[in-house]
Amino acid sequence: MKINKYNTLVFAILLVFGLSGYSQTKQWTLEECVRYALDNNISIKLTELDVKNAAIDKKDAFGSYLPSVNGNVNHSWNIGRNVNPITNVASTETSEFTRLGLSSSIDIYKGLQNQNIYRRTKLSILASQYQLVKMQEDVSLNVANAFLEILFNKENLKVKKEQLAIDEKRFTRSEEMVNAGTIPRGDLFDLKATVATDKQNIIIAENSLLISKLSLAQLLQLKDFTDFDVIDDTNVKDENGILLQNPVDIYNKAKEIRTDLKIAQTNLEIAEKNVVVAKEAFQPSLRGFYSFGTSARYNDIPTGQLDGNGNQIYISPDPVFNQFSDNKGHNFGLELNIPILNGFSVRNNVERNKVNLEKSKIDLEQKSLDLQRNVYTAFTDAKGALNAYESSVIALEARQQSYNYAKEKYDVGLMNSFDFTQAQTLLTTAQSDIIRAKYDYIFKIKILEFYFGIPIIPLIKN
């Protein structure tokens, strides 16, 4: 009995610790968020399906090299006036037939249309794969931005709570000073309003944090975001030394690796193939065909002759399998199709594809110009964000010293409550500015690294 009680106690303790450990909120790192998004994001899943569709189109194009083979079975009842297959005379009767057939055809010559269509589908697969990579890159950047937004809101909420704690202590201290007659009672009212404002700011900061968590949870396709949290594993330093690079070198590197340009280049090649395929329609095509057919009749066949009593004489058809053997026939030959005039549809299709080709060339050129502008903008933004962060560090140190000096004066009654509150507000603003500058700098560094071929995490899907 004692052993049972001991075992029960141990089990209860383990259960309590197990449940408490399970209920702890998992804190996600940036890498975990990105990897989870790459596996579960709806936009990525849709793009993956586009890749599968492109692969199916390739199978269709390969199938155009193969002959088509089709079988058919037809069973019919003919009621009324029909041609008697025995006498070849039209007569009114009811007959029942089964017909079997097999047909096949193959393109012998169609220019190089089938080959070019097949090559175009291979380019389409490549384009869809590039589109998938681009979607992964976009989702990774969006996740990083949402992740850093949460970190900013968490730090901002922390500052607001610290500010409330300081103001509440000041309020308690001021009550003591008012009771001692050191400061006027009006200062106490100002502090009471300040504490109320701090609490309101905390509510606003908590709402901003909740909304930012919701945004990231939606990107990750998480249904429950109330217990969702992240951990700050970011580094404000330029670990890869991207800012030491020359913008020209970053741009040249980006031209080699950026998915946007690869997509535009592949679309240009597809447009070129479309023009070639359209021109092939001007050429004649040669098709070979073959068909086999047989039939059988089930009901008695009237001969058109009468017996001694004036009744129609019928003969029974041969057995079904004998009829199938006797009635079989073959048909084969060649069909040459020469396009002469088709309402200018072929010519217009060629012209239409030429226009699309020019559009693809312009799009590639525009993508190159956009990339150059984006690289230089990203480099300038990252430099500016670094300068802003360094300046905010210096400003925070100065505001902290100013606040400490103001606090000393306020504690000995040499500064009124309004001036001291101003100094404290400036310190709070400086604290918020450095948080904002920090995560703005980190995100802009990530963007610049993207152009240089350094992803947030190595993409696990290609």
Per residue in 230-241, is it b (16+ CB within 10 Å) or e — as a string? Answer: beeebeeebeee
pLDDT of residue 87: 55
279 or 78, greater pLDDT: 279
Distances (CA, A) of 12 to 1, 2, 20, 25, 299: 17, 15, 12, 22, 87
Q: What topology is assigned to 25-66+119-283+343-451 in CATH?
A: Outer membrane efflux proteins (OEP) (1.20.1600)
Q: Distance between CA 357 and CA 272 in Å, rounded?
A: 6
Kindly indicate the confidence band of residue 65, based on its pLDDT and cuts at 50, 70 and 90: confident
DSSP 332: E
The domains of the chain are located at: 25-66+119-283+343-451, 81-109+285-338
Over range 423-436, report the average pLDDT. 88
pLDDT of residue 231: 86
Q: Which has the closest alpha carbon to 163: 206, 201, 189, 210?
A: 201
Percent with pLDDT over 70 in the chain: 85
pLDDT of residue 20: 38
Percent with pLDDT over 90 in the chain: 40
Whether 3 has a pLDDT exceeding 60, the answer reads no
Over range 382-401, report the average pLDDT. 92
Per residue in 401-440, is it b (16+ CB within 10 Å) or e — as a string? Answer: eebeebbeebeeeebebeebbebbebbbebbbbbbbbbbb
Interstrand relation of 285-297 and 329-337 (parallel, antiparallel or unpaired): antiparallel
Whether 16 has a pLDDT exceeding 60, the answer reads no
pLDDT of residue 10: 39
Over range 17-36, report the average pLDDT. 67
Whether 129 has a pLDDT exceeding 80, the answer reads yes
Q: Show the beta-strand stretches assigned E in 44-202.
A: 68-83, 90-109
pLDDT of residue 59: 92
Q: CA angle at residue 146 from 143 to 151, to 5 degrees?
A: 125
pLDDT of residue 183: 66
CB count within 10 Å of CB 118 equals 19
Over range 133-140, report the average pLDDT. 91
Whether 6 has a pLDDT exceeding 50, the answer reads no
Q: Distance between CA 92 and CA 210 in Å, rounded?
A: 86
pLDDT of residue 348: 93
For residue range 32-55, list pLDDT tens digits in order. 899 999 998 888 999 999 999 999
Over range 79-101, report the average pLDDT. 73
Whether 450 has a pLDDT exceeding 60, the answer reads yes
Per residue in 273-291, is it b (16+ CB within 10 Å) or e — as a string? Answer: bbbbbbbbbeeebeeeeeb
Whether 451 has a pLDDT exceeding 50, the answer reads yes
Q: CA angle at residue 80 from 75 to 84, to 5 degrees?
A: 75
Residues 450 and 141 sit within 8 Å (Cβ to Cβ): yes
Determine phi and psi for 212, rounding to 5 degrees.
-65, -35
Dig out the tokens for 270 from the structure.
């597809």
3-state helix, strand, coil in the chain (%, to 5): 65, 15, 20
| Residue found under tokens 């950047």 | 141
What's the mean pLDDT when you consider all of the chain?
84
pTM of the model: 0.76
pLDDT of residue 366: 95
Kindly indicate the confidence band of residue 457, based on its pLDDT and cuts at 50, 70 and 90: low
Whether 377 has a pLDDT exceeding 90, the answer reads yes
Q: CA angle at residue 196 from 191 to 197, to 5 degrees?
A: 95
For residue range 311-367, list pLDDT tens digits in order. 666 666 678 888 888 888 999 999 999 888 888 888 999 999 999 999 999 999 999
Kindly indicate the confidence band of residue 413, based on its pLDDT and cuts at 50, 70 and 90: confident
For residue range 163-204, list pLDDT tens digits in order. 888 888 878 877 877 777 666 777 678 788 888 988 999 999
pLDDT of residue 333: 93
pLDDT of residue 313: 66
Whether 24 has a pLDDT exceeding 70, the answer reads no
Helices (H), 299-344: 320-326
Q: Distance between CA 136 and CA 130 in Å, rounded?
A: 10
